[in-house]
Every structure is written in structure tokens, then in C-alpha cells.
Chains A and B, each alone.
Chain A
């Protein structure tokens, strides 16, 4: 299921503005890779290029290559919609569809892509909710609105919704930044379980979180305000936190800037 992502020499632009410059890195399958760095350094922007979500923003475009195993995501003829079915995404703020029940939220991806058959959908919904550690909390109220859940439950609902379409890769853009510590712990535990099946990339501002959940960590930084963000280094999380090879990384992690 899980696939490797190979990025080479990637530049991201919004219109004429170069937001991210020259990123080359590999994201290993069945592992958690964390992106850390100060605000505005382009880590979220870069994350969005991994499933072409940056194209949703007018003027967003990239130069360079992103390979998902042996498939070039930006080759001509590749449908961004198909890319997003393979590379799922969870957002900063829980965003369940407000018109839909819990059940429909989880089934949304499949239903909207034309899958029918109640039995099949029932199975997928149950499997996905179990996969997101939410099944026991909501199994008796699947027809209640998804927006009625707590923030942490909503975020797990969004994760269930994302894994219901069986992606290869799961991108998470600060998935815990709107949650309280207990909900955060629940999500972090979930990430630990999900990595046995998916390639996970998580953007986080919380360095303890990066240290807790990730196998590898990438540190992004920008030379100055208005300059494009860059990948400073990427390595095993242990090394990044204990013995980084670049001084800026050590300064950032120890809180000397950012």
C-alpha cells in the first residue's frame, strides 16, 4: 500500500513569488516524516505539492519532480484529482462536512466518486472509523451530524474520511494545532498505528510532537523574510534532535530562534 516519495529540485511558486526553493528529499514508505520550521518557511506549501493541492490556490505552480514510486506526479497527462485519491490529506482545523452525518462524512470520498452498495459502504465506514480509533465512540450515533463531535473527535473523523478512500500516502498539515493535549495524544497514538500501513508526512510546530511521532524529520527555514523557504536538512529524527549537522537546526530546536 504505502509508497515512497522522491522529490528532486522542487521550486514552488505562487504567481511570480517563489515560495519554496530547491527541495530534494525522500520520504520513506511506512514511516512518519515530520516537517518542522518557523512560520512562513514553506513547509505547508511544500506539503501541498505532494498531492497537488497547491494548484487549488490561483497562481500556484511547481518546477521540478515529485515521484511516487515510479509515477511522476507532475508528468503531463496526470490528473490532479487522481493524485489526490492516492495521496490523502488531513488539515489543520477539523473540517467535517457540516451537512453530513458521521457515516456520510466517512463515506463521502467513496460516494462522491460513485461507489454504491450499502453493504460495501457499511464495511468501509466501520473499518475506517476503527482505523481512526473513533468507532467505539460513535458507533451508536452514526447518523448524527459530524459537526456535533468534539474537536478531537472531529479530527479523527477527518482522518477516517481520508483513509476511507485507501490512499497510499497521508499528508497531515498541523493536525493537532487546534486540539487540546488529550485529543492530541489520541491523534499521535493513531499516527503511530497508521504508519504500519501508510506513508505519513506531518507538518508540526510542536517539536516535542515531531520527536514523539516521527522517524525522520526535515527542517525548513528561510534566509530572510520575502525570500523563498528552503530545506535545511533531513535526517533521522534522533539525529536531528540530538546531533544535527547544521547549526541553524540546532538553534531552532533549542529555541534560540523561530
Chain B
């Protein structure tokens, strides 16, 4: 605080006014400050400034998002509007030819995502139940720490790990199921953390009410706690699923692209949307480039669909009001 500032305010001091730091000290003659502190216009100016900063930050964050969406939609929508995109595969279609569809890749992404969820959900939810309802002491801390580590594993490392086990050690082929295993590694920590949060939100009073009725702990968890947290847990699962479906690195290592429809997770290559994008992206011919944008848009729509489903479950969840 400068000497001028002090001097400017000095005359008002004896009248018992409060100090108003942050006000400009210059030229303006010092009026006695009102008894209730800052004049409203100072507060309003600050409010305006903060609002402007926040809106600017929001707009800044929105620019790339809108840009991406606009680019992908404008370049991809015309292929999506053709029926064969949703019914045909790319079998027999070279990069210089137009036509064909993405059904092989959509199906692959869905099958792998679903299989991943089928393996991850029980493990993840059970782990979360252990951590919230049972875990005490060292083991719980260790498990929680492991989950943290798992959360931090880069997806390409998860892919390499499964490659090292599946291909190098056991000499299996690179198949869809190996991809699923690497995605499981990425999905479990997401489910554990989101389920944990949801279980913690269930008031302890409900557990106690159930215990007081002579209901054993395991039954309390399965009949009271899980149903209460159900919609939140499902939302978390769907969001986790949306994330692993867009995952690419493990797919590049473990799931080579193939142009035809494959349903067998245990033999042969299985196409997915990310690998389809990656395959055609190296081409400079227009039909292939178009397919890249269309596949990207399809993937975005798929993830969006899961997000919307997650929100719907959250809204129409089982907790009745």
C-alpha cells in the first residue's frame, strides 16, 4: 500500500469509515466510504470481470470441440447417409474404389467393447464393493494403490503387456480376445473408481437400518446398497465403456485390421473403427479419405450414444422420489 493511498484516505479515517483496499488511490478526492464497506459498483465491476473471464475460458474450451465436430460431421456425414455404410463391409474394396460400408468395424468395436465390459464389470464392481464395504487396513490400501497405478498405465503399455503374455509367452495368435484383455486392464480402474464413488454416496443410515432389521451384511450390500447406487454404477460403466471403445493403441498392437466381417473373438483378425480409421488414414486417395471421416463420425456417434444412455439411466434410475 503506497503512502499516497494512505494520505488520500486519511481525512476519512476519523469518521470511522472502513478501509477500502483495492480502490484506486489517484486524483479522485476521497469521499467518506459508506458504513457498509465497498460501494456496490466496485463489487459489480468485479462480478462483471469474473463473469467475462469465465465466459471467455468457456468459449476458448469450446472452440476446438466445435471445430472437431464441424470438421468430422461435414466431411463424414454423406457416407453415413448411404445405406450400405451400415450394411456392408469393405471386403474386396480397394482404396481407390468408392463404396462398401463399416459394418465390420462397427460390429468389431461393439463385440470387443461388450466382451471387455462383461469381464471388467464384475471384477471392477466387486473390487469397489470390497474397498468401500469391507476393506480395512493394509490389504485395502494396497488394492486401492494398485487401482491408482492401473489408472495411470498408458494404453499402449497395456497393449504391449498383453502382447508379451499372449503372443510372446503363450504363442497365441493376435485375435480379438487379446484386444479385449488389454482393454479390460484399462476399464477395470475406471469402473472401480466410479463404483466406489457411487457406493460412498449411499448414506450409512441405510446400511444401519438394514442391519437393525437383522439383515446380514452381504444381503444388505446386494439388496439395499447396490440397488440404491445402481443408476450411478451403470452410468459409470457406460462412460467407461465409451472410453475403451475409442481406445486405439492396444488395437494397433493386438488387433490388426481386416476388411471383412469377423465374429470369432478367438481366431482371425477383427476390424474395429479405430483400426479402420488408422488403415485408411495412410491413403491419399479420396475414397479412403472419405471413409476415414465417416468412420470417425461413426465412432463419435457410438460414444455419444453410450453417453446419452448413461445419462438416461442416471435420470430414470432406481431411486424413487
Q: Is the pairing of A and B real?
A: yes
Residue total for B at the interface (Cβ-Cβ under 8 A):
25
- Which B residues are CB-close (under 8 A) to A85? 213-214
List the one stretch of B20-28, B63-71, B215-223 in contact with chain A.
B215-223
Given contacts A147-B321, A148-B321, contact A112 B209 (CB under 8 A): no
Main secondary structure on chain B at its contact with chain A?
A: helix
Within 8 A of A (CB), among B270-321: 318-321
Between-chain CB contacts (< 8 Å), 21 pairs: A53-B212, A56-B208, A81-B214, A84-B214, A85-B213, A95-B203, A95-B205, A97-B206, A97-B210, A98-B206, A99-B320, A108-B210, A112-B220, A112-B223, A112-B224, A145-B320, A147-B321, A148-B320, A158-B209, A165-B213, A165-B214
A162 within 8 A of B: yes
* Residues of chain A whose beta carbon lies under 8 Å from any beta carbon of chain B: 51, 53, 56, 58, 81-86, 88-89, 91, 93, 95-99, 101, 108-109, 112-113, 145, 147-148, 158, 161-162, 165
B247 to chain A, nearest CB (A): 34
Q: Could you say which residues of chain B place their CB within 8 Å of the CB of A162? A: 212-213
Q: How far is the CB of B218 from chain A (nearest CB, A)?
A: 11
Q: How far is the CA of A97 from the CA of B208 in the complex (A)?
A: 11
| Candidates B205, B212, B318, B319; contact of A93 at CB < 8 Å | B205
Whether B215 pairs with A51 at a CB distance below 8 angstroms is no
Interface assignment of B266: CB less than 8 Å from any CB of chain A: no
> Which B residues are CB-close (under 8 A) to A81?
211, 214-216
The CA of A255 and the CA of B14, in the complex, are separated in Å by 46
Interface centre among B203, B211, B213 (most CB of A within 10 A): B213
The answer to whether A84 and B213 touch across the interface, beta carbons within 8 angstroms, is yes
- Besides A81-B214, A113-B213, 14 other A-B contacts (C-beta < 8 A): A51-B212, A53-B212, A84-B213, A86-B214, A88-B213, A95-B208, A97-B206, A98-B206, A99-B224, A99-B230, A108-B215, A109-B214, A112-B219, A162-B213
Least distance between B314 CB and chain A CB atoms (Å): 15
Inter-chain contact count A-B, CB under 8 Å? 83
Q: Are B320 and A84 in contact (CB under 8 A)?
A: no
Decide: A91 and B205 in contact? CB cutoff 8 A: yes
B319 to chain A, nearest CB (A): 5
Known: A113-B215, A145-B321. A53 touches B209 (CB 8 A): no
> Which residues from chain B contact A93 at a C-beta distance below 8 Å?
205
Find chain B residues with CB under 8 A from A83 CB: 214
- Cα of A139 to Cα of B213 in the assembled complex, Å: 23
Q: Measured between C-beta atoms, what is the minimum distance from A188 to chain B in Å?
A: 21
With the chains together, A109 CA to B213 CA distance in Å? 5
Query: Which residue on A lies nearest to B220, using beta carbons?
Result: A112
Q: How far is the CB of B221 from chain A (nearest CB, A)?
A: 11
Across the interface, do A91 and B214 meet the contact criterion of CB distance under 8 Å?
Answer: no
Q: How far is the CB of B285 from chain A (nearest CB, A)?
A: 56
Inter-subunit contact A97/B214 (CB<8 Å): no
Q: Is the Cβ of B212 less than 8 Å from the Cβ of A84?
A: yes
Contact of A99 among B212, B215, B219, B228 (CB under 8 A): B228
Residue ID in chain A nearest B136 by CB atoms: A58
Q: Which of A82, A96, A158 contacts B214 (CB 8 A)?
A: A82
In the complex, which of the residues A91, A99, A145, A147 contacts B209, with contact meaning CB atoms closer than 8 Å? A91
Q: Please give, as numbers and ranges, the residues of chain A lying within 8 Å of B216 by CB-CB distance.
A: 81
Instruction: Confirm or deny: B227 has a beta carbon within 8 angstroms of a beta carbon on chain A.
Output: yes
Docked CA distance A112–B219 (Å) = 7
Enumerate chain B residues within 8 angstroms of A99, measured Cβ to Cβ.
224, 227-228, 230, 318-320
